[in-house]
Structure 1
Amino acid sequence: MSDLGAAPKGREARRRETHRRVLDAATEEYRARGMADADLGAIIAAAGVARGTFYFHFPTKEHVLLEIEAREEKLIAEELTRFLAEPHDLRDSLAETIRSIAAMETRLGRHLFKDLLSVHFSPTRPLTDEWRAHPVIGLVAGMIRDANRSGEAETMIDPYHSAVFFLFGLYGLLAITTGAAVLRDTVIRDYLDSTLRSLQPR
């Protein structure tokens, strides 16, 4: 019989468990203090590992953020996929995207949320076409593509580029309005309106 899909055993199982403990401990420390002020000693103590073990799993503090980003993106993509199982117009779909991303602040706390948003603009992040594989970008691109096909929207550029522009603008607005709920509501509403106007059929 094939072992495909079987749970890891032995050394691999222990490695994954250690990785999970280190990530969970780092996430809690980042939530409390933010990445810049995170105490590595507190992280390794909470995870019950040596300092070298932390660096084996996460060569830099930013690598922790990248993994948290991937985990959060997966969660958001799952929520959006469930939402999109029923038909929605472009406004409702983009509004749900905004709501799902903004909800990270409640899950992660203000410090970690701002760090996570800032990693999108990090000068040390590799510049590749990896964004095309990001599930949330793909879903937003699909929303725009479907709106194009139905005549609800019109864009002369690749829907993936439209999705990246929309999401990067959103990340920036969420970062500068963290902790300012009333201002955020106004700014994000205006941003959604302007995005939809820019996509209106000519």
Structure 2
Amino acid sequence: MPPVAAAVSTREARRLETRARLFDAAVAEIGRTGLGGADVSAIARAVGVARGTFYFHFPTKEHVLAELQHSEEARIVAELEKRSSPPSLESALSDAVAEVLVAERRLGETIFREMLGLVFSSTRPAEAQLDEHPLADYVLGVLTRAQHEGALSASAQPRDMTVIFLNGMFALLTTLAASAGTRRKLLDQYVKTMVTGMEAL
């Protein structure tokens, strides 16, 4: 490799390493203090860089959360796609809810709630739209297949139903302050109600 190319490659590797360390430090800080309390100076100190370096990589703290949400949704979808096809639309959506709950346990309550809150926040990065999310793409695929198989009403709009389903699920997860068992029962009922409504359209 020519010296100039090698230098560029080394510089890019360092940039990516710094970005990854800032991302991890920011997630840890948000997990400790919440998004509003997260201190960018503390994040930068934890990585040993100047405060401005954080903003070079992430325009806002919300960008960190949006990126975390995208990676978590990609992980959820990867887990769902490992399974054989569920026998029904209700089973498929219930499986999606179950994997979201696994993500909640993995991330911890503070990070998870901040991430969900960002879905409905006016400060959500403009480029992080719902229809660009792996989980939205997965649910849209489930609903589209169900419609082709005759399990979903021909008059249903899969894209609209995807937005309604996910926003409703996120809202319930944000507001339900019940035990884990009770929350799961309520979410199962939500899935059943949604499926019944889509079938009845």
TM-score by length of 1: 0.86
Shift of 1:194: 0.4
Q: Which residue is equivalent to 1:190?
A: 189
Q: Which residue is equivalent to 1:22?
A: 22
Shift of 1:186: 2.8
Where do residues 27-176 of structure 1 align in structure 2 (5 Å cutoff)?
27-83=27-83, 85-125=84-124, 130-154=129-153, 156-176=155-175
CA contact (8 A) 2:62 2:125 kept: no
CA contact (8 A) 1:177 1:183 kept: no
Q: Which runs of 5+ in 1 are unaligned?
A: 1-7
Secondary structure of 1:103's partner?
helix
Q: Deviations over 1:79-114 (max 9, x none)?
A: 12222x435321111011001112221111111100
Q: Deviations over 1:125-148 (max 9, x none)?
A: 366794333221111111111111
Kindly tell me: are residues 39 and 133 of structure 1, through their superposed partners in 2, closer, same or farther at Cα, counting changes over 3 Å? Answer: closer
Q: Which runs of 5+ in 2 are unaligned?
A: 1-7
Kindly tell me: are residues 127 and 53 of structure 1, through their superposed partners in 2, closer, same or farther at Cα, counting changes over 3 Å? Answer: closer
Shift of 1:193: 1.3
Kindly tell me: are residues 109 and 160 of structure 1, through their superposed partners in 2, closer, same or farther at Cα, counting changes over 3 Å? Answer: same
Kindly tell me: are residues 86 and 157 of structure 1, through their superposed partners in 2, closer, same or farther at Cα, counting changes over 3 Å? Answer: closer
Q: Which moved more, 1:35-44 or 1:63-72?
A: 35-44
CA RMSD of aligned residues (A): 2.2
Amino acid in the other structure paired with 1:136: L
Percent identity for Structure 1 against Structure 2: 37
Q: Partners of 2:78 and 2:119 in 1: how far apart?
A: 20
Q: Which moved more, 1:54-63 or 1:85-94?
A: 85-94
Secondary structure of 1:30's partner?
helix
Kindly tell me: are residues 148 and 129 of structure 1, through their superposed partners in 2, closer, same or farther at Cα, counting changes over 3 Å? Answer: farther
**Structure 2 residue 186 is the aligned partner of structure 1 residue 181:** no
Shift of 1:32: 1.9
Q: Which moved more, 1:16-25 or 1:97-106?
A: 97-106
Shift of 1:30: 1.2
Matched residue pairs, number? 194
Q: Which residue is equivalent to 2:5?
A: none
